Every structure is written in structure tokens, then in C-alpha cells.
């Protein structure tokens, strides 16, 4: 494995909130040539996939975004650009309702939806038998990825994987979002989740899909919950077959699956991530021997910016390809 270059935060962008907020708000968006594919799912719904690069002889890297993100999230575009530069093909997944178009069922996506990822990777394996594959997940997408890796263990079709800024214990992270400045992030996430739900209800009503519209409307019910715990208990859990919010957190938290991971997996996390507390992080004895856990002192949540404001450097886009190259040499 390549020796990692240590992360040193940009001086003027130091601190968890600057590291977290600068990329989505002020980073220039990469302009990539991509083509979109609509993948039909077993339940009749769909996912939109955005492909970059045409070299089917290269490894394939599957990218998974975070909560309320998409294939247009700047960290996704940045990594796709780096992978393209080294001649690799990548495909960025848009979870349901995240591609700019509402999905066609009341259900949505959630932090433990590893069955969805399994459908994607089964499809990729069928199209490209024996092709080397990796996956990279950020935040919610990283939690889904780690859960999937643990569930599949030695049956996993991936050669290796990377997970960044993962909410290892969803219950602890949900509680942390109710404190201090983290409440601002929480309120923005909940606002976007409600808007996605309202967009779906309007679509269902316009199409005459009354059963799906009523199902979602009855859960939203005109009231607005104020915390993730309330949202996940009242909406996420019943929409996706969990008994309660607590049941959802217990079944979906990736921390409980780490010991069973049997593919080389890099986990990148910052101690100052404003979405989490140290109690959420796995202990050494919870990690399988195939996990490399890199814990930095700074970096925020999916930040990791070094260099300067005028010439920012996005360390993840150096570190992740370096790790992948250890298993997919040129």
C-alpha cells in the first residue's frame, strides 16, 4: 500500500466548520463529460447513474454520495475528474430522488440501504465479469458501503473500498446534531428532506398515483419534526420497514458490521467532524484486519482542504486514488 501523505489543513481554512462548509459553498464545480443511465430496480423504481470515462479495460469505481447530496456534489465531481485523469472509468450513483427527479415510490433512501447497493453491484458484475471494481462512499454513502462490505464479507464483488466521514453509530450522531452549531446542519438537512418528500407528493398527485401519495402524505401529515430522531422514527422507519427509529439505527449503523469486512478498506475520518463525537468511532478491536483506519486531527466533514484559499488542494482526491492504485496498479 502506498504510504499516505499526511493531511495538513489550510491555515485560513482551519477549524471543523470552515473545512466542512468551504467545499460545498465556494469550491468551483468541475466540468465533466458524463452520460446518464437510468437503472431499473427490482421494485419497479429507478436510480440514475452518471458515468465518466469510456475505458472499460480500466478498473471501475462506484461513487456513493452523502445525505441530500447527488452525483453533482463537488466531492463526487472532484474524484471523478481525478479518476478520469488517470484513465479510469467511474460511475456516480444518485440515490432515489437525488438526481433532480423524484423517484416513483413513497420510499426513499436511507443510511442502511445496502440492498440497493447490492443491486447496483450485481448489475455491474453481470455487465463486466471479472472486471476489477472498487467503491467509494462519503458520509451516508460510506455507511451504506461499510454495512454492505460487512454483510457480504468474502462474497463481496469489490476488490477494495474507501469510506469517508462515516456516521458509524447513527443514534450517537443524531444526538450530536442537536447540539451547538451542528443544529444548523441538522435543520438544513431536514429542510431538504422535507422538500424532497413534498416534490414526490406533487408528482404522485399529478400522475394519479394516489396510494403512494397518500402513504407519504400520512407520514408527513402537515407537521414538521425538529430532530433526526423524530424524523427517523416517524418517517424513515415506517417507510422502509423498520419497527422504530431505534430499530433503524440498530440495524443500519455500520459500526456493527466492521469486524466482518474481508476486502481491503480504507476509512478516513477527522476527529473534529462536527457531525459526530468520539463515542461514535469504532474501537481498534472492532475493526477487521482488512481495514486501514486513518484518523486525522482536522478535516471537518468531507472537507480535508489543504494548500491556500487561492490555491486549495483537496487531499481526499490525492489520498483515495493513491489507495486504489495500491490494488489496481497501472
Spot the catalytic one: 48, 171, 232, 273: 273
Reply yes or no on whether 273 is catalytic. Answer: yes
Spot the catalytic one: 58, 139, 252, 253: 139
Residues 6+ apart with CB under 8 A from 99: 36, 47, 48, 70, 71
Reply yes or no on whether 301 is catalytic. Answer: yes
Reply yes or no on whether 57 is catalytic. Answer: no
Active site residues: 139, 273, 301
Amino acid at each position: 500500500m502506498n504510504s499516505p501523505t499526511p493531511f495538513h489543513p489550510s491555515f485560513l481554512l482551519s477549524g471543523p466548520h470552515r473545512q466542512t462548509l468551504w467545499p460545498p459553498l465556494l469550491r468551483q464545480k468541475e466540468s465533466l463529460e458524463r452520460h446518464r443511465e437510468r437503472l431499473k430496480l427490482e421494485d419497479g423504481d429507478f436510480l440514475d447513474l452518471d458515468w465518466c470515462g469510456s475505458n472499460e479495460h480500466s478498473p471501475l469505481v462506484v461513487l456513493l454520495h452523502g445525505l441530500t447530496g447527488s452525483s453533482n456534489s463537488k466531492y463526487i465531481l472532484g474524484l471523478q475528474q481525478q479518476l478520469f485523469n488517470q484513465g479510469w472509468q467511474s460511475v456516480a450513483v444518485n440515490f432515489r430522488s437525488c438526481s433532480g427527479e423524484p423517484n416513483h415510490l413513497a420510499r426513499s433512501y436511507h443510511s442502511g440501504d445496502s440492498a440497493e447497493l447490492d443491486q447496483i453491484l450485481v448489475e455491474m458484475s453481470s455487465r463486466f465479469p471479472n472486471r476489477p471494481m472498487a467503491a467509494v462512499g462519503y458520509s451516508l454513502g460510506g455507511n451504506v458501503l461499510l454495512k454492505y462490505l460487512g454483510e457480504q464479507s468474502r462474497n463481496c464483488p469489490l476488490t477494495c473500498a474507501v469510506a469517508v466521514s462515516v456516521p458509524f453509530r447513527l443514534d450517537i450522531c443524531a444526538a450530536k446534531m442537536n447540539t451547538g452549531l451542528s443544529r444548523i446542519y441538522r435543520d438544513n438537512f431536514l429542510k431538504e428532506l422535507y422538500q424532497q418528500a413534498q416534490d414526490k407528493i406533487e408528482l404522485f398527485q399529478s400522475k394519479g398515483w394516489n396510494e403512494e401519495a397518500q402513504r407519504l402524505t400520512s407520514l408527513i401529515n402537515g407537521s414538521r419534526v425538529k430532530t433526526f430522531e423524530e424524523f427517523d422514527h416517524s418517517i424513515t422507519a415506517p417507510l422502509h420497514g423498520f419497527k422504530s427509529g431505534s430499530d433503524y439505527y440498530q440495524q443500519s449503523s455500520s459500526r456493527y458490521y466492521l469486524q466482518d469486512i474481508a476486502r481491503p478498506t480504507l476509512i478516513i475520518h477527522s476527529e473534529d467532524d462536527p457531525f459526530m463525537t468520539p463515542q461514535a468511532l469504532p474501537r481498534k478491536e472492532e475493526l477487521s484486519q482488512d481495514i486501514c483506519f486513518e484518523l486525522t486531527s482536522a478535516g471537518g466533514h468531507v472537507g480535508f482542504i489543504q494548500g491556500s484559499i487561492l490555491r486549495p488542494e483537496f487531499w481526499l482526491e490525492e489520498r483515495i486514488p493513491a489507495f486504489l492504485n495500491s490494488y489496481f496498479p497501472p
